[in-house]
Amino acid sequence: MFNQIIKAKEDIEFFNNSDANTKFFRKYPPGHFYSPIPCLEEIKSREAKIFGTPPRQIPGIDLNEEGQLQILEKFKEFYNEQPFSPTKTDEFRYYFENGNYGYTDGIVLHCMIRYLQPKRIIEVGCGYSSCNMLDTNKLFFDDSIDLTFIDPNPERLYLQTKSIGYAKATVITRQVQDVSLDTFSGLEENDILFIDSSHVAKIDSDVNYLVFEVLPRLKEGVYVHFHDIWYPFEYAKEWIYDGHAWNEAYIVRAFLQYNKDFKIAFFNGYLRYFFEDVFREYMPLCLNHPGGSLWIRKVTDNRD
């Protein structure tokens, strides 16, 4: 219900500025070849090709399968210690069946924090993932990880943490485009930049700012998380037909092509598809929801 209220609020704000905002629809309607909103009829005609069996390899991208499997092997021990339940409890802020950041995403986030032992995490876009970080930080790190949450609309975070609190975190209530690049300069090796953005690349968007301005300036060894990136960098058919016209996955794919400065560390969708037997045997809760998290790592010190 709360997510629906947030969505309704956003819709009202958009249409309150309808004269300016609908100009783009009048110029090039959805589905027009000049519009970033796709034509569903054309997608339907190529459905088998677009949403078919995922390829094992992607041209120009090193999927680092061996490295992913090495991290997955480390996660097995952390999985057995993960504390979360399917439904909400009094003890923890995070729970799996939250409708936004579920089983696989939540388990991998918990295990990744345990594996990396970061000193600092900066999250862009707050929610249930923030709850996961707060709980993991308190239970396994005695609140020693410096957490910063950036979100212009942190109501979801406030509601989810009101009973336990979020005092061990800094909350910046601005759009990330208005946050200084210096904020990210403190991230060091094994620290995390956690991105759960608007998922839309366009003029003045958070995606553009993060990919074009923030990522190139990160130090070597920093890990970056993107949410709602499915393998092979395509959105779910049901999401497209439901009206999602996101494009972040395509921007991230292009960013990684022939990119020697960043390496894929862990790709939920890839591993779940090609190594489901491993999850079934060692991390069975991950079979409940595949998740859509991509983790990459800065492997050089090339900075501007």
pLDDT digits (tens, 9 = 90+) for 90-145: 899 999 999 999 999 999 999 999 999 999 999 999 999 999 999 999 999 999 99
Residue of 266, 275, 253 lying closest to 67 (CA atoms): 266
The predicted pLDDT at position 291 comes to 86
Q: Identify whether 79 is part of a domain.
A: yes
Average pLDDT in the chain: 92
The predicted pLDDT at position 94 comes to 95
What is the spatial distance between Cα 184 and Cα 193, in angstroms, rounded to a whole number? 8
Distance of CA 279 to the CA centre of its chain: 21
pLDDT at 4 over 60: no
Spell out a b/e string for 176-199, using b for 16 or more CB atoms within 10 Å of the CB, else e.
beebeeeebeebeeebbbbbbbeb
The predicted pLDDT at position 302 comes to 80
Q: Identify whether 56 is part of a domain.
A: no
Question: Which amino acid makes up residue 131?
Answer: C
Residue of 286, 250, 248, 294 lying closest to 268 (CA atoms): 294
- Residue of 31 and 282 predicted with greater confidence: 282
What is the spatial distance between Cα 223 and Cα 93, in angstroms, rounded to a whole number? 24
CATH of the domain at 240: 3.40.50.150
SS (H, E, C) the chain: CHHHHHHHHHHHHHHHCHHHHCHHHHHCCCCCCCCCCCCHHHHHHCHHHHCCCCCCCECCECCCHHHHHHHHHHHHHHHCCCCCCCCCCCCCCCCCCCCCCCHHHHHHHHHHHHHHCCCEEEEECCCHHHHHHHHHHHHHHCCCCEEEEECCCCHHHHHHHCCCCCCCEEEECCCHHHCCHHHHCCCCCCCEEEECCCCCCCCCCHHHHHHHHHHHHCCCCCEEEEECCCCCCCCCHHHHHCCCCCCHHHHHHHHHCCCCCEEEEEEHHHHHHHCHHHHHHHCHHHHHCCCCEEEEEECCCCCC
Count of domains forming the chain: 1
The pLDDT tens digits of the residues spanning 253-275 come to 999 999 999 999 999 999 999 99
State mean pLDDT over 275-288.
Answer: 96
Residue 179's pLDDT band, with cuts at 50, 70 and 90, is very high
Q: Identify whether 21 is part of a domain.
A: no
What is the spatial distance between Cα 45 and Cα 65, in angstroms, rounded to a whole number? 33
Q: Identify whether 294 is part of a domain.
A: yes
Q: Identify whether 208 is part of a domain.
A: yes
What is the spatial distance between Cα 100 and Cα 210, in angstroms, rounded to a whole number? 22
What is the spatial distance between Cα 211 and Cα 131, in angstroms, rounded to a whole number? 25
Is-contact 146 163, C-beta < 8 A? no
The pLDDT tens digits of the residues spanning 292-301 come to 999 999 999 8
The pLDDT tens digits of the residues spanning 62-73 come to 999 999 999 999
| Percent of the chain whose predicted confidence (pLDDT) is above 90 | 81
Q: Identify whether 19 is part of a domain.
A: no
**Domain residues for 281?**
64-298
The lowest-confidence range among 3-12, 13-22, 23-32, 51-60 is: 3-12
pLDDT at 304 over 90: no
Q: Identify whether 270 is part of a domain.
A: yes
Q: Is 239 exposed, middle or buried (0-12, 13-18, 19+ CB in 10 A)?
A: middle
